[in-house]
Structure 1
Amino acid sequence: EVDKDKIIVIGHSQGASFLPYIIEGEEVFAAIALSPALLEITDQMVYQIEYQIDYYKKQNINNSLDSVIEMLEDILSEGKKVNESMKKGEIDPNELYLDNYRGEFLIRWSELSRNMVEKFVNMDVPLLIINGTKDLKTPYELLKEYEKELKKKNDLEILYIEDMSHELVNFQTLKFEDKVVDQIVLWLESQGL
């Protein structure tokens, strides 16, 4: 038999963002969100691409990243158009956007990703959010912007792991970031598990 007091649900990226839906109505001990997106998906995409452009411009000392920056600027232009269409309710469910997203998928994703901060705050289980400081997809700076609002949830803890990327890899060593597991274990122990 499964001990419901020992079930922990962990989600990463999109899976982390959907944790409020995943655990809703379920009997679980806690939830852990690794690198969650906090914005409606098309807003998140625009934020992410703008962040990446800024990041690569700072790294582009010898112009070796010019082609990457140019590609991202093209994607940003298209992403802003998609974001605007989403806001106006003009996404065609049958059309492809950003080269690989069906409109129907984007519309559903948009509906699910609205008001994520509020959804995290209203979760009825303890929540740990972990984000890396080198995450180019869900930048830790965005999490910092919402930290005060998120901390309205008394049983929420936010941890930042230095030099960790979105893929849970240390930017310096290019290896899995062991601190993720270490921090999860410490947090679970602090929760009485």
Structure 2
Amino acid sequence: MVEKFVSFNSEYLLKGTLTVPEESKEKFPGLLIISGSGQGDRDGNVKGIEINVYKELAEFFTSLGFVTLRYDKRGTHESEGDYHETGVWDLIDDATAAVRFLKEQPQVDPNNIVILGHSEGAIIAPAVHKKEEVNALILLAGFFGPSKEMLSVQNTMAQKEVEEAKGFKGFLFRILKVSDKLKKNQEEMLSKVMSSDEPVIKYKGTKLNAKWMRESQEFNGLEQLNGVNIPVLAVTGDKDVQVPPTDVKNIEGVVKGDAEWHIVPNMNHLLRKYEQNHTILGLMKEYKTLVGQPTDPDLIRILKNWVTKHIQK
């Protein structure tokens, strides 16, 4: 396969990587990867945690005969713009521009395009399809419901972990009333964000992308899936603590096309095997232990079987 560094225009110039099968063929199906939230790069890496989630997925799908595109989000790494001023609908516009760019590539069949979204990418992928139609959606580790409920679930889990902490750490948490302070800070922060109309605000000295937070509170990924009449695959791991694993079942009865879902045993949010119990408070430390680990082979098997069934090459 051959990697090409490319750029395309949305509101700002965005930079990405196009991966093309080396074999000679007139046209290939195209696959766009939409990444999760945060400032990770197009390969799926953040400082100190280089797991290459999206690079591996791109190479896997290219090995199956796809031209794949992954890109740095607005205001991150090599792409232009301001990350902190970027809202959810800005991300949707950028991904829509990426689909159009992929369709224009001479090696790509514009009538055979798949979007693969991971985490937040899975949540917004159906909205991208509604702006620029594609032929299928693959939604990995997504949340299918009102996004404000996802934030509530994560906050509740964090508070519960603080309250149930053992040993000296638990003793300190209780003495310092960490759970109460955590809840109060979250409520104050959200109130300040929702009462503002500025794209960026500061809360206790920290810069917040308020526009993104407000739009996330109003966004409902399940509503965007309603009536989608193309094949949809949704997969989450049962060790995922960032989204409820059983949420993938919500696509049934909502998607009009062929809807298939899987909950993969011992797979976490970064699509790796993790047989221990994850914690919200210890995620970053735990994720660092996954560097060098391959994409979950059970997920790879599911993806390959689904592509064989639904995508003509």
Report the TM-score when normalising by structure 1: 0.75
SS at match of 2:138: strand
Gaps of 5+ in 1: none
Q: Kindly indicate whether the alpha-carbon contact (under 8 Å) linking 2:238 and 2:265 is maintained by their aligned counterparts in 1.
A: yes
Distance in 2 (alpha carbons) for counterparts of 1:136 and 1:68: 22
Tell me which protein shows more helix as a share of its residues: 1
The alpha-carbon deviation at position 21 of structure 1 amounts to 2.0
Aligned position for 1:104: 211
Aligned to 2:228: 123
| Structure-1 residue corresponding to 2:303 | 184
Which AA in structure 1 matches 2:139? A
CA contact (8 A) 1:135 1:165 kept: yes
Kindly indicate whether the alpha-carbon contact (under 8 Å) linking 1:32 and 1:127 is maintained by their aligned counterparts in 2: yes
Matches of 2:304 and 2:146, distance apart in 1: 30
Match of 1:28 in 2: 134
* DSSP 3-state at the match of 2:308: helix
- The question of whether the paired residues in 2 share the 8 Å contact of 1:48 and 1:139 is answered with no
Matches within 5 A, 1:5-44: 5-44=111-150
- Paired residues for 1:169-180 under 5 Å: 169-172=272-275, 174=290, 175=293, 176-180=295-299
Of 27, 47, 72 in structure 1, the residue corresponding to residue 153 of structure 2 is 47
Shift of the alpha carbon at 1:184? Answer: 1.1
SS in 2 for 1:187: helix
Does structure 2 conserve the Cα–Cα contact (< 8 Å) formed by 1:121 and 1:151? Answer: no
Tell me the CA shift for residue 51 of structure 1.
2.8
Query: Helix, strand or coil: the match of 1:105?
Result: helix
In structure 2, the CA distance between the partners of 1:17 and 1:72, relative to structure 1 (3 Å rule), is farther
Q: Which amino acid aligns with 2:228?
A: M
Identity rate, percent: 19
Q: Distance in 2 between matches of 1:119 and 1:6?
A: 21
Match of 1:18, SS state, is helix
**Judging changes above 3 Å, is the alpha-carbon distance between structure 1 residues 64 and 17 closer, same or farther for their aligned structure 2 residues?**
farther
Match of 2:264 in 1: 161
Q: Distance in 2 between matches of 1:130 and 1:64?
A: 38
The two structures, once aligned, show a CA RMSD in angstroms of 3.2
Sort the Cα spacing of 1:122 and 1:51 in 2 relative to 1 into closer, same or farther, 3 A.
farther
**Could you tell me how far apart the structure 1 residues matched to 2:197 and 2:275 are?**
42
Distance of 1:178 and 1:72 partners within structure 2: 38
Q: Kindly report which structure 2 residues correspond to 1:147-158, keeping only aligned pairs within 5 A, or say none.
A: 147=249, 149-152=250-253, 153-154=255-256, 155-158=258-261
Q: Distance in 2 between matches of 1:68 and 1:171?
A: 27
Letter in 2 for 1:103: A
Aligned counterparts of 1:36 and 1:10: Cα–Cα separation in 2? 11
Structure with the greater relative contact order (CA < 8 A, sep ≥ 6): 1 or 2?
A: 1
**Greater gyration radius:** 2
Q: Residues 186 and 110 (structure 1 numbering): CA distance in 2 closer, same or farther, change over 3 Å?
A: same
In the TM superposition, what is the alpha-carbon distance from 1:18 to its structure 2 partner? Answer: 0.6
Is residue 145–residue 223 contact of structure 2 (8 Å, CA) maintained in 1? no
Separation (CA, whole Å) in 2 of partners of 1:106 and 1:178: 34
| Number of aligned residues | 183
Alignment of 1:127-142 (within 5 A): 127-141=232-246
- Rounded to whole Å, the distance in 1 between the matches of 2:159 and 2:203 is 20
